[in-house]
Each structure stands twice: as C-alpha cells, then as structure tokens.
C-alpha cells in the first residue's frame, strides 16, 4: 500500500492547456503552457526571442488591453521575470477574457523586446521594471529611470541587491 501511495505522489497531475494556448499551438506559435493561477487565469511562458510575434498574435486574437506589465526576481541566481497581464476588452462581455504572459530572462543578460509598439500602456510600466530590476526593454522609446535618481547604482528590487550603507538628505531645508 505504501508503494502505491508513493507512486501516486510522484505522478504530476495532468493539466490541460487553456483555450488561448491551444489556439497559439494550432497557429504555430512557440510557447509553454503554465498552470493557471489561483484565479483560474491562463498563464503562458514565452521565450524572449519569440515575445514580439507571440504578443502580436495575442493582439490579433483580441487581447487589446495591457492591464499590467510588471517584473519580479525569482531569487538570487535565478531568472528575472517580465509578466504581462492582457485583457480582451469588448462591449458585450461581463467577464472579459484574461491571460498572463511570462518571459523568463537570465539575470546576466537581462534584455527583452519592448511591447510598447503593440500596447502603448507598456510605456511607464516597462520603465519601472527597468528601474527596479534592470531589465532592458529593447526598442522602448524612452527607457530611463522613473523612480530612482538617474545616477543610482544598482537595481533595488533584485533579491541580491545590497543597499548602500550611506544615506543622504537632499533638499532637506
């Protein structure tokens, strides 16, 4: 009995790809289906080299609104992640279709194409991700710091960031 329980524990549950992931696969777009999040929103992993074709396909599919672009650090020595929450906005829907697109980026080469030219709402959001994590959004029209001073050294929200041991009051009086 213990053997059969151990076998059951080692078997991962089979997760069926979502509607959008199936559509992308049928149309030849490379991606990886990730498990839906806690709200049931479909999540897709894309390679940074295929982000623009995949994002363009999702826009053509109807995801006309980039609700949120953000980033996070998966941990010291791990990848940085640029995440895009897309919504299909129409007049006749009470609950719009949503999808989350994730791009895992190596921290030693944190470059990814900008989606600004597809969704203009990425402008300040990509700038914030650049400012806090150091992800370079190639093709962004004005990629510069938005929260930290221009001369700030480092990326404050990376998990391996070491805070400077000095504090400076500017314009205190």
The domain limits of the chain are 14-138
Query: Which residue is it, tokens 């093709």?
Result: 139
Average pLDDT over residues 148-167: 85
Cβ neighbour number for residue 18 with a 10 Å cutoff: 19
Q: What's the pLDDT tens digit per position in 75-128?
A: 988 999 999 999 999 887 788 999 999 999 999 999 999 999 999 999 999 999
What one-character-per-residue DSSP string does 74-111 give? Answer: -STTS-EEEEEEEEE--TT-SS-EEEEEEEEE-TTS-E
pLDDT band at 13 (very low <50, low <70, confident <90, very high): low
pLDDT band at 11 (very low <50, low <70, confident <90, very high): low
**Percent of all residues in the chain with a pLDDT value above 70, rounded to a whole number:** 87
For the domain 14-138, what is the CATH code? Answer: 3.30.460.80
Number of alpha carbons in the 13 Å side-chain half-sphere of residue 72: 6
d(CA 21, CA 27): 10
What one-character-per-residue DSSP string does 115-155 give? Answer: -TTT-TTHHHHHHHHHHHH--EEET-TT---SSS-TT--S-
The predicted pLDDT at position 17 comes to 83
The structure's pTM equals 0.85
Average pLDDT over residues 160-165: 81
108, 119, 165 from 51: Cα distances, Å: 19, 13, 39
**Considering only CA atoms, which of 110, 98, 95 is closest in space to residue 154?**
110
Cβ neighbour number for residue 16 with a 10 Å cutoff: 7
Query: Which residue is it, tokens 């995801």?
Result: 63
The predicted pLDDT at position 45 comes to 97
Q: Residue 132: phi, psi to the nearest 5? A: -90, -30
């Amino acid at each position: 009995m213990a053997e059969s329980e151990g076998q059951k524990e080692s078997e991962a549950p089979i997760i069926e790809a979502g509607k959008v992931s199936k559509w992308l696969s049928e149309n030849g777009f490379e991606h990886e289906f990730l498990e839906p999040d806690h709200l049931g929103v479909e999540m897709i992993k894309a390679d940074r080299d295929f982000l623009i074709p995949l994002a363009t396909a999702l826009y053509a599919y109807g995801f006309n609104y980039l609700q949120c672009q953000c980033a996070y650090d998966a941990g010291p020595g791990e990848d940085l992640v640029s995440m895009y929450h897309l919504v299909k906005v129409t007049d006749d829907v009470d609950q719009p279709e949503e999808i989350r697109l994730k791009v895992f980026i190596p921290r030693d080469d944190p470059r990814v194409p900008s989606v600004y030219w597809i969704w203009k709402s990425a402008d300040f959001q990509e700038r914030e991700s650049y400012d806090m994590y150091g992800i370079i959004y190639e093709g962004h029209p004005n990629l510069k710091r938005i929260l930290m001073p221009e001369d700030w050294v480092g990326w404050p929200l990376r998990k391996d960031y070491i805070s400077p041991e000095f504090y400076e009051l500017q314009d205190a009086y």
